[in-house]
Amino acid sequence: MNPLLLDIPTEFSSERLKLRCYRPGDGAMYFQMLRANWDHLYEFLPASLMAVQSEEDAEVVFRRLMADWNLRNLFIFGVWEKGTGVYVGESYLANADWNVPRIELGYFVVKASTGKGYASEAARATIRFAFEHMGISRVELQCVADNVASIHVAENCGFIFEGRFRQRHRKKSGAVVDVLWYGILLSEWQNSLAGSLPK
């Protein structure tokens, strides 16, 4: 199926979290989040966000993200607490190969919301979204070998460790590090759900 024909929801939820694609007007909030979390997120920020210097810059980024969404190139979701409406992070699905079809998962949690299990919860919800609404058969995750938090998220979500790419990534500090690769198949996800059902 041509991905442009997919009818993909723009929001979904988990037990504690609401996830939705960014909308016009979210740029101001996101700019303030970047300022508050610059040191926390610096290593993982792409060039497009490194260049953001104002609320207007952030809004322009979001307008481009909406275009990427409509072209089925990139799916980025803001993550908010259901109860409070507080913004806690982001998850995304990127680098799709629609011939398989497979896609890559990514995420972050703002510094003030770390340690609450939100990264794993948002990741699980996004994996479910990919399998149930996008027709994906394989979700991938990669992280640098010293990112202990992301390794825990991968394990918590049922990913299978598939390999270690030596000296694969150069950090902004200049250090070259290994990258770990994980994958989870639709059949594995379905089996995990079946195993969690009450007997």
CATH number of 3-196: 3.40.630.30
Q: Report the DSSP beta bridge partners of residue 96.
A: none
CB 119 within 8 A of CB 156: no
pLDDT tens, the chain, 199 aa long: 689 999 999 999 999 999 999 999 999 999 999 999 999 999 999 999 999 999 999 999 999 999 999 999 999 999 999 999 999 999 999 999 999 999 999 999 999 999 999 999 999 999 999 999 999 999 999 999 999 999 999 999 999 999 999 999 999 999 999 999 999 999 999 998 876 644 3
* pLDDT confidence of residue 199: 38
